């Protein structure tokens, strides 16, 4: 029995590795210097909705390994005269993240007062008090038990929405990752109660087998 499990696991690992190595977005990420293919998901959402603009204050929740932060930093660009980033990107994660030039990283749980104080201080240093955009690629470790997974996904999305309500400007936007299943409809309903406009987005760069989708809330009610 043990041998069969290990053999199956090796087959699955090998199949995943082959798919990963041959993935055009993985190759493109390596070519363009992104840490993960996930950068292209945010790129597609941004290009469709025009979310990221120079001068904005942006927070990347669950930022590690940093591909979304890299994309945001590139999109904001630098002032030709000063060479400084045109805007502010602050990345938050429980896990460590290698530095991204121009991005301030705060390691910790954003539910804790100490971490939120560090965020507010970082914004105040640039004369900013509110955010234009919050993006969240946070996802739980899925167990395969539908009810438990739905609860975990709901918790993360609720945290992101609560964070956005607290820190976003009235015309700001929130992007979160969600999975089709028990948590999907309640979270769409929560977004519709919170935001004036709600968009769902399944990027082409999201793998076909993945049930992930992205919810975008535009403008707080």
Quick one: residue 7, left, alpha or beta (phi over 0 = left, psi -120 to 50 = alpha)? alpha
Angle (nearest 5°) at CA 31 between 30 and 32: 95
Q: Which residue of the set 4, 177, 199, 202 is catalytic?
A: 177
Give yes or no: 193 in active site.
no
Tokens of 167: 């820190």
* Closest CA relative to residue 157, chosen from 125, 183, 123, 124: 183
| C-alpha separations of 216 from 93, 99, 159 in Å | 21, 27, 15
In degrees to the nearest 10, what's the CA dihedral of 169, 123, 139, 156? -60
Positive or negative, the Cα torsion across 92, 137, 192, 173?
positive
Q: Are 175 and 216 in contact (CB under 8 A)?
A: yes
Question: Which tokens in the block code for residue 84?
Answer: 């400084």
What positions carry a catalytic annotation? 177
């Amino acid at each position: 029995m043990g041998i069969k499990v290990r053999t199956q696991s090796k087959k699955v690992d090998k199949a995943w590795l082959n798919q990963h190595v041959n993935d055009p977005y993985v190759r493109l990420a390596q070519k363009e210097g992104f840490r993960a293919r996930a950068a292209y998901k945010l790129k597609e959402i941004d290009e469709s909705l025009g979310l990221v603009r120079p001068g904005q204050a942006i927070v990347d929740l669950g930022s590690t390994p940093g591909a979304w932060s890299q994309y945001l930093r590139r999109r904001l660009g630098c002032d030709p005269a000063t060479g400084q980033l045109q805007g502010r990107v602050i990345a938050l994660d429980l896990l460590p993240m290698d530095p991204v030039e121009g991005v301030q990283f705060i390691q910790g749980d954003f539910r804790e007062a100490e971490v939120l104080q560090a965020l507010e201080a970082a914004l105040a240093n640039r004369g900013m008090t509110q955010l234009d955009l919050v993006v969240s690629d946070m996802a739980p470790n899925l167990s395969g038990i539908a009810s438990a997974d739905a609860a975990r996904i709901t918790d993360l999305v609720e945290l992101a929405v609560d964070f956005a309500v607290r820190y976003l400007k009235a015309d700001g936007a929130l992007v979160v990752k969600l999975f089709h299943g028990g948590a999907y409809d309640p979270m769409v309903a929560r977004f519709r109660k919170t935001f004036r406009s709600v968009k769902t987005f399944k990027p082409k760069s999201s793998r076909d087998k993945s049930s992930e989708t992205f919810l975008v809330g535009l403008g707080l009610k």
